[in-house]
């Protein structure tokens, strides 16, 4: 039996969900016999595969870059999983949503800058008007709330998906855990 | 002696249960170990039937009935869990999360919040409705407490406990529709309120992280809502 | 002490006085005509009569609404029936010149046109005929006869039975059988009961109740007093919106006059029946028309509904059994008592008796107030009475029931107008607003307009209505802006279903109706605005700076 192609993507999040993923520790080794980690900030591969079986997304959609990335990922993924509160609710990134983008940029790059205050025009991708949950941009198949979801929860969810089941997470995680 | 209490028998979720005449479906269900989700309801306060989470199906009634205000009657057939009710309850919760700014991970009530618990018990995994991201204020003018309107679900428990139990009527609701907001006195800063006795009852009946004690950090604000039935009971007995 | 004979004496004196005048010019002073300065017309006619020394021969009488508000100011010469439209104060001399000669052709309005001919008036029988400032005018038209008759020759239960026999249903929107409600209150125990007249009239485009109160206020007071007698209440309140200053003024005058003549107050007509009426002004919140919110408002609380049961008939104002009826419902009572329930029941259809007043508005030639028997077709109302669509445009739909109602398309135009037929096709009778829509309007836009109304009028107490109306409005906006996909329409429909089944009061329960009925009859218009289903149907989020 061929191994399932699993990818993880990091959008606007603190990387806590990926840390939690790594927290699976020795269970990762067990998973390794069933999955190929084909794309992830945790591995070196630069290109997203033609078709991943499962992609876990951490983070909200906050910039033009995030938007482009998630659309591409969606097109090349069978089961898309929103992992963690930022992907699911847009969580902390959304706390800027009550302010205009310009005000947010000024605060970050001018008012709070110690040296050489200037708003970046290149390299840093442009912010969207609001930080939004992944499912507001593309269809999402499975939601794993939690900030971050525990390693147990992630392990359970991935194992269930590999068995072809939709994981029932209601007793394992919630918003804000 | 008081008039004899009439006992009625009814059927809730296929179980035959009995209650006293005048009791609500919610009371009888809970006595029988059947859980119906509630948010605006609180034992010891006048029911308002506002959150609609406790709606149940009653055979022969065209409309769904709020269990917290619907009185039991002989032979009544009640269903508290159906696909339709489940869908509606989840939508109500989605509406609350989308209405104001809830960021559980940084909320002082994280882990002690009735809204969060309801989301979990009703299996709400995400919010399908667009978030509104309204601009709302936080009033920290009171010496000991804070009201954060970003977390308020307008259950009016604070309004009722302050009026009905404390007798101060510091809290009320202003404006209407989506602009509704709880206020202290005539929408003055809480710290300037002449009527507030600083009893803290509103803090402990508030189901969310909206009214909290000062100085609490993330997930530190546990509430003691159980004081209320106890207080009401003591008052009745004395 | 007023007896039947006293009324008859006042009536004949009044008739005599009137017949002393060779000509009687009736000038409409209801809100519609006043807004086009009929008060100035009345003043200049009165001055002209004085200047010519014709007092005693020509009476200039202020009257209530004649119905054809779009042609105002309206002036009618009573004896000849000649009707003038768009009259200005400069026209006074010419009109007076014409009295014993030929009518002023330039100003004539055809009073034989279908607009007038096709109507049947019970509620509005005195509107545009009597002077609303004078109780004698009302009495001369048979006013207060029914009250005196009920008090002196009928038992309260007989009055209730007469109303039951009439088949009258509430005109405030719900269509609840009036007699049944009266008998519930009559049978309720308690030391005190109340009668409340609901004159909150908050639907956009509706002005039936305003017109009745401005044109014939005594009729409503008489209905309330009869209700008080029938149910055992001795106190009545008229809950009226403060935005109706003219109606309020006319009601105040009427109450004062009725008290002076012992037709209200203690020992009415020398009997042991007491009934007082007071006004309570509302601040113009639509939800305060909902009966439990209205009660809270009269009690001095926040105007918010509460769950029913208990119904007001069981526990209403200050916990007492309370009868709440609409203005138009009360306006039907005196004729029913005077002429009998059977007479009333002979008008209309099997389940909807009597007549209904409608406020015609929108894309229609004759906008104004009409009264038609139940069971006429929409086609008759729109094309005969209403004169059809102006500007050569095609008819598209007629909206009834305001924000709680729905849109009725062309294929249902021949349907009889009654409570049940309207409900069957996804609208409601409502309180009587009728807005005609032509091909130039978007039905999605119409739905959004009403949703906007519900959203801003939601009291905010219950979550489905408070938040649901906001989201439904947002989705309608998104559809109109062309950013929506089929998934958004599905979500809109799910919200409609949820809000109508879970809201606390009628406002939320019916708020989805305009959307549901336009989706039902004009789905194509929604679909035409959607983005082609690209990929997963998700539309683009707004770029930086947007939203
Ligand atoms: C949101 C809402 C607004 C209402 N507004 C009015 C109103 O303006 N006038 C009215 O007579 N009834 C109104 N009603 C209906 C009243 O609640 C009540 O049913 C009615 O006054 C009863 O009188 P009826 O039986 O004579 O119709 C409204 C109901 C709702 C739910
Ligand atoms: S109030 Fe409750 S639901 Fe809202 S952010 Fe705080 S913990 Fe989460
Ligand atoms: S502040 Fe708390 S108790 Fe008061 S209405 Fe809001 S959520 Fe309810
Ligand atoms: S349905 Fe709307 S108006 Fe009625 S109680 Fe609920 S929020 Fe208030
Ligand atoms: S608990 Fe019954 S409506 Fe809120």
List the CATH code of the domain at C142-344: 3.40.50.11540
Residue C8: Cβ within 10 Å count: 13
Q: Are strands C355-362 and C368-373 parallel, antiparallel or unpaired?
A: antiparallel
The answer to whether the CB of C505 is under 6 A from ligand 1 is yes
The answer to whether the CB of C207 is under 6 A from ligand 1 is no
* Span B195-205, average pLDDT: 96
Q: How many Å separate Cα B150 from the centre of its chain? A: 17
Q: Do B133 and A98 touch (CB under 8 A)?
A: yes
The answer to whether the CB of C172 is under 6 A from ligand 1 is yes
Q: What is the DSSP string of B22-63?
A: T-BHHHHHHHTT-----SS--TTS-----S-TTEEEETT-SS
Residue B43 covered by a domain = no
| Percent of chain C topping pLDDT 90 | 89
CATH number where B19 lies: 3.10.20.740
Grade residue C545 by pLDDT with cuts at 50, 70 and 90: very low
In this structure, which ligand is nearest to the CA of B211? 3
Q: Do B104 and A88 touch (CB under 8 A)?
A: no
Q: What chain B residue is nearest to C457 in terms of C-alpha separation?
A: B177
Grade residue A2 by pLDDT with cuts at 50, 70 and 90: confident
The rounded distance, in Å, linking the Cα atoms of C34 and C73 is: 7
Distance from CA of A171 to the nearest CA of B (A): 7
Residue B92 covered by a domain = no
Residue B103 covered by a domain = no
What's the pLDDT tens digit per position in B102-145? 999 999 999 999 999 999 999 999 999 999 999 999 999 999 99
- For the ranges C63-67, C139-143, C424-428, C442-446, the lowest mean pLDDT is seen at C424-428
513-542 in chain C: CB under 8 A from chain A = 535-538, 541-542
Q: Which atom number of ligand 5 is nearest to the Cα of residue B48?
A: 3
- Kindly report the pTM of this predicted structure: 0.94
The answer to whether the CB of C201 is under 6 A from ligand 1 is yes
Residue B113 covered by a domain = yes
> Does residue C537 surpass a pLDDT of 50?
no
- For the ranges B25-34, B227-236, C71-80, C361-370, the lowest mean pLDDT is seen at B227-236
> Does residue C541 surpass a pLDDT of 60?
no
Range A4-96+130-162 classified under CATH 1.10.3720.10? no
Interface check for C546 against chain A (CB to CB < 8 A): the answer is yes
- For the ranges C287-291, C341-345, C385-389, C529-533, the lowest mean pLDDT is seen at C529-533
Give how far Cα C11 sits from Cα of C17, C139, C149, C212, Å.
Answer: 10, 6, 16, 21
Grade residue B217 by pLDDT with cuts at 50, 70 and 90: confident
> Does residue A54 surpass a pLDDT of 50?
yes
Interface check for A17 against chain B (CB to CB < 8 A): the answer is no
Ligand 1 centroid to residue C406 C-alpha, Å: 17
Q: Ligand 2 site: residues with CB under 6 angstroms?
A: A 175-176; B 102-104, 107, 109-110, 113, 115-116, 151, 208-209
What's the pLDDT tens digit per position in C400-456? 999 999 999 999 999 999 999 999 998 999 889 999 999 999 999 999 999 999 999
* Span B183-201, average pLDDT: 97
Q: Do A138 and C545 touch (CB under 8 A)?
A: no
Q: Which residues have a Cβ under 8 Å from the Cβ of C225 and sit 6 or more positions away? A: C147, C236, C263, C264, C268, C275, C277
Ligand 4 centroid to residue C433 C-alpha, Å: 21
The answer to whether the CB of C297 is under 6 A from ligand 1 is no
The rounded distance, in Å, linking the Cα atoms of A115 and A135 is: 38
Tell me, what's the pLDDT at C546?
Answer: 32
Reduced to 3 states, what is the DSSP secondary structure of residue C509? helix
Q: What chain B residue is nearest to A87 in terms of C-alpha separation?
A: B126
> Does residue B95 surpass a pLDDT of 90?
yes
What's the pLDDT tens digit per position in C227-259? 999 999 999 999 999 999 999 999 999 999 999
Q: Which residues pair with A57 in a beta bridge?
A: A9, A82
| Percent of chain B topping pLDDT 90 | 88
The pLDDT mean for chain C works out to 94
Tell me, what's the pLDDT at C536?
Answer: 43
Distance from CA of A91 to the nearest CA of B (A): 5
The answer to whether the CB of C328 is under 6 A from ligand 1 is no
- Residue ranges covered by each domain of chain A: 4-96+130-162
The rounded distance, in Å, linking the Cα atoms of C389 and C443 is: 17
Grade residue C540 by pLDDT with cuts at 50, 70 and 90: low
What's the pLDDT tens digit per position in C16-27? 988 888 899 999
Q: Which residues pair with C265 in a beta bridge?
A: C275
Task: Write out the residues of chain A at the interface with chain C, using a CB-CB cutoff of 8 A.
Answer: 61, 64, 67, 74-75, 100-102, 126-130, 132, 136-139
Task: Write out the residues of chain B at the interface with chain A, using a CB-CB cutoff of 8 A.
Answer: 97, 101-107, 110-111, 116-117, 119-121, 123, 125-128, 130-131, 133-135
Based on the fold, state whether residues B73 and B114 are members of the same structural domain: no
The pLDDT mean for chain A works out to 94
In this structure, which ligand is nearest to the CA of B219? 2
Q: Ligand 3 site: residues with CB under 6 angstroms?
A: B 152-158, 182, 205-208, 210-211
Q: Which fold has domain C347-438?
A: Ubiquitin-like (UB roll) (3.10.20)
Does the CA dihedral A72-A73-A76-A77 come out positive or negative? negative
Enumerate the residues of chain A whose CB falls inside 8 A of the CB of residue C545. Answer: 100-102, 129
**Do residues A145 and A134 lie in contact, with contact meaning Cβ atoms separated by under 8 Å?**
no
The rounded distance, in Å, linking the Cα atoms of C220 and C144 is: 11
Based on the fold, state whether residues B12 and B122 are members of the same structural domain: no
Interface check for B129 against chain C (CB to CB < 8 A): the answer is yes
Enumerate the residues of chain A whose CB falls inside 8 A of the CB of residue C546. Answer: 129
Q: Are strands C23-28 and C58-63 parallel, antiparallel or unpaired?
A: parallel
Burial profile C400-437: b = 16 or more Cβ within 10 angstroms, e = fewer? bbbbbbbbbbeebbeebbbbebbeebbbbbbbbbbbbb
In 3-state terms chain C splits into helix, strand, coil percentages (rounded to 5) of 45, 15, 40
Distance from CA of A100 to the nearest CA of C (A): 7
> Does residue C543 surpass a pLDDT of 50?
no
Interface check for C153 against chain A (CB to CB < 8 A): the answer is no
- Residue ranges covered by each domain of chain C: 21-113, 142-344, 347-438, 443-527
Give how far Cα B105 sits from Cα of B139, B191, C57, C214, C249, Å.
Answer: 21, 28, 86, 60, 59
The answer to whether the CB of B49 is under 6 A from ligand 5 is yes
Residue B22 covered by a domain = yes
Of B49, B50, B95, the CB nearest to C467: B95
> Does residue B1 surpass a pLDDT of 60?
no
Q: Strand locations in C38-101, DSSP E? A: 58-63, 75-77, 83-84
> Does residue C1 surpass a pLDDT of 60?
no
Based on the fold, state whether residues B71 and B137 are members of the same structural domain: no
Mutate to test the interface with B, among C282, C285, C462, C489 (most CBs of B within 10 A): C462
Interface check for B132 against chain C (CB to CB < 8 A): the answer is yes
> Does residue C538 surpass a pLDDT of 80?
no
In this structure, which ligand is nearest to the CA of B40? 5
Distance from CA of C529 to the nearest CA of A (A): 20
Number of alpha carbons in the 13 Å side-chain half-sphere of residue C409: 11
> Does residue C48 surpass a pLDDT of 50?
yes
Q: Which fold has domain C443-527?
A: de novo design (two linked rop proteins) (1.20.1440)
Q: Which residues have a Cβ under 8 Å from the Cβ of A62 and sit 6 or more positions away? A: A11, A12, A93, A127, A128, A131, A132
Distance from CA of B236 to the nearest CA of A (A): 39
The answer to whether the CB of B53 is under 6 A from ligand 5 is yes
Tell me, what's the pLDDT at C547?
Answer: 31
Interface check for B96 against chain C (CB to CB < 8 A): the answer is yes
Enumerate the residues of chain C whose CB falls inside 8 A of the CB of residue A137. Answer: 538, 541
Residue nearest to atom 6 of ligand 4 (CA): C462
C21-113 to CATH, choices 1.10.260.40, 3.40.30.10, 1.10.4000.10, 3.40.50.300: 3.40.30.10
How many domains is chain B built from? 2
* Span B152-161, average pLDDT: 98
Tell me, what's the pLDDT at C18?
Answer: 86
Interface check for A20 against chain B (CB to CB < 8 A): the answer is no
Distance from CA of C324 to the nearest CA of A (A): 45
The answer to whether the CB of C294 is under 6 A from ligand 1 is no
Tell me, what's the pLDDT at C101?
Answer: 87
Q: Which chains touch C (3 or more CB pairs under 8 A)?
A: A, B
> Does residue C379 surpass a pLDDT of 70?
yes
CATH number where B219 lies: 3.30.70.20
Place of tokens 């605006």: B40
Whole domain around residue B200: which residue ranges?
Answer: 108-237
């Amino acid at each position: 039996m061929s191994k399932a192609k699993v990818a993880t993507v990091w959008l606007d999040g603190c990387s806590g969900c990926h840390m939690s993923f790594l927290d699976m520790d020795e269970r990762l080794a067990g998973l390794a016999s069933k999955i190929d980690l084909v794309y992830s900030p945790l591995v070196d591969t630069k290109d997203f595969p033609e078709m991943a079986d499962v992609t876990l997304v951490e983070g909200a959609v906050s910039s033009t870059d995030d938007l482009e990335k998630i659309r591409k990922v969606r097109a090349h993924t069978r089961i898309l999983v929103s992992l963690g509160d930022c992907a699911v609710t847009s969580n902390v990134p959304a706390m800027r949503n009550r302010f205009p983008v310009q005000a947010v940029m000024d605060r970050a790059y001018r008012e709070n800058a110690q040296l050489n205050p200037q708003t970046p025009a290149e390299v840093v991708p442009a912010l969207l008007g609001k930080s939004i949950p992944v499912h507001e941009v593309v269809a999402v198949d499975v939601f794993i709330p939690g900030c971050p979801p525990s390693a147990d929860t992630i392990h359970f969810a991935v194992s269930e998906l590999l068995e072809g089941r939709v994981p029932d997470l209601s007793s394992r995680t919630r918003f804000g855990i | 002696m008081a008039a004899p209490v009439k006992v009625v028998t009814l059927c809730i979720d296929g179980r035959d249960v009995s209650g006293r005449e005048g009791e609500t479906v919610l009371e009888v269900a809970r006595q029988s170990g059947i859980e119906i989700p509630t948010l605006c309801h609180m034992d010891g306060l006048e029911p308002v039937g506002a959150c609609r989470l406790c709606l149940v199906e009653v055979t022969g009634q065209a409309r769904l009935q709020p269990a917290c205000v619907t009185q039991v009657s002989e032979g009544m057939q009640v269903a508290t869990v159906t696909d339709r009710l489940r869908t509606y309850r989840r939508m109500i919760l989605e509406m609350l999360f989308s209405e104001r700014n809830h960021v559980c991970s940084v909320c002082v009530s994280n882990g002690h919040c009735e809204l969060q618990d309801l989301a979990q018990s009703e299996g709400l995994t995400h919010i399908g409705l667009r978030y509104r991201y309204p601009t709302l204020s936080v009033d920290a003018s009171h010496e000991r407490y804070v009201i954060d309107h970003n977390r308020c679900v307008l259950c009016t428990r604070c309004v009722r406990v302050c009026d009905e139990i404390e007798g101060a009527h510091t809290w009320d609701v202003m404006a209407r529709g989506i602009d509704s907001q709880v206020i202290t006195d005539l929408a003055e800063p809480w710290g300037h309120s002449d009527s507030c006795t600083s009893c803290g009852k509103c803090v402990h009946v508030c189901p969310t992280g909206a009214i909290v004690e000062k100085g609490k950090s993330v997930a530190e604000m546990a509430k003691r809502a159980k004081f209320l039935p106890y207080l009401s009971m003591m008052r009745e007995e004395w | 002490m007023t007896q039947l004979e006293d009324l008859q004496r006042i009536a004949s004196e009044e008739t005599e006085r009137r017949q002393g005048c060779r000509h009687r010019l009736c000038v409409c002073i209801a809100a519609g005509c006043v807004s086009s300065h009929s008060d100035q017309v009345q003043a200049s006619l009165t001055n002209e009569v004085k200047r010519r020394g014709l007092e005693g021969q020509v009476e200039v009488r202020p009257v209530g609404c004649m119905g054809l508000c779009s042609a105002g100011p309206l002036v009618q010469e009573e004896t000849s029936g000649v009707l003038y439209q768009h009259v200005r104060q400069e026209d006074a001399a010419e009109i007076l010149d014409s009295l014993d000669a030929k009518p002023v052709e330039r100003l004539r309005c055809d009073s034989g046109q279908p607009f007038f001919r096709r109507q049947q008036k019970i509620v509005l029988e005195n509107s545009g005929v009597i002077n609303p400032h004078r109780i004698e005018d009302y009495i001369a038209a048979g006013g207060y006869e029914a009250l005196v008759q009920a008090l002196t020759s009928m038992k309260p239960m007989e009055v209730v039975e007469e109303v039951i026999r009439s088949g009258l249903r509430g005109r405030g929107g719900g269509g609840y059988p009036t007699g049944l409600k009266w008998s519930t209150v009559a049978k309720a125990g308690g030391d005190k009961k109340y009668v409340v007249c609901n004159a909150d009239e908050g639907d956009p485009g509706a002005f039936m109740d305003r017109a009745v109160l401005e044109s014939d206020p005594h009729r409503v007071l008489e209905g309330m007093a009869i209700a008080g007698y029938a149910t055992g209440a001795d106190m009545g309140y008229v809950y009226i919106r403060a935005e109706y200053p003219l109606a309020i003024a006319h009601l105040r005058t009427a109450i004062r006059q009725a008290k002076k003549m012992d037709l209200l107050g203690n020992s009415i007509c020398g009997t042991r029946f007491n009934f007082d009426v007071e006004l309570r002004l509302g601040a113009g919140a639509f939800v305060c028309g909902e009966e439990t919110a209205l009660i809270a408002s009269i009690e001095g609380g926040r105007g918010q509904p509460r769950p029913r049961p208990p119904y007001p008939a069981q526990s209403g104002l200050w916990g007492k059994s309370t009868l709440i009826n609409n203005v138009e419902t009360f306006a039907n009572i005196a004729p029913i008592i005077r002429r009998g329930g059977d007479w009333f029941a002979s008008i209309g259809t099997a389940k909807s008796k009597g007549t209904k007043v409608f406020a015609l508005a929108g894309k229609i030639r004759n906008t104004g107030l009409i009264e038609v028997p139940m069971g006429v077709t929409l086609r008759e109302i729109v094309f005969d009475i209403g004169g059809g669509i102006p500007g050569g445009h095609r008819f598209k739909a007629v909206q009834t029931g305001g924000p709680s109602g729905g849109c009725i398309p062309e294929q249902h135009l021949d349907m009889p107008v009654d409570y049940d037929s309207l409900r069957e096709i996804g609208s409601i009778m409502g309180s009587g607003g009728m807005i005609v829509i032509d091909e130039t309007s978007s039905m999605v836009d119409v739905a959004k307009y009403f949703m906007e109304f519900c959203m801003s009028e939601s009291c905010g107490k219950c979550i489905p209505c408070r938040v649901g109306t906001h989201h439904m409005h947002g989705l309608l906006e998104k559809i109109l802006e062309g950013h929506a996909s089929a998934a958004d329409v599905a979500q809109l429909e799910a919200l409609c279903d949820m809000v109508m089944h879970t809201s606390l009061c009628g406002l939320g329960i019916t708020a989805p109706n305009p959307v549901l009925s336009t989706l039902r009859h004009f789905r194509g218009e929604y679909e035409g605005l959607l983005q082609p289903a690209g990929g997963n149907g998700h539309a683009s989020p707004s770029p930086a700076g947007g939203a």
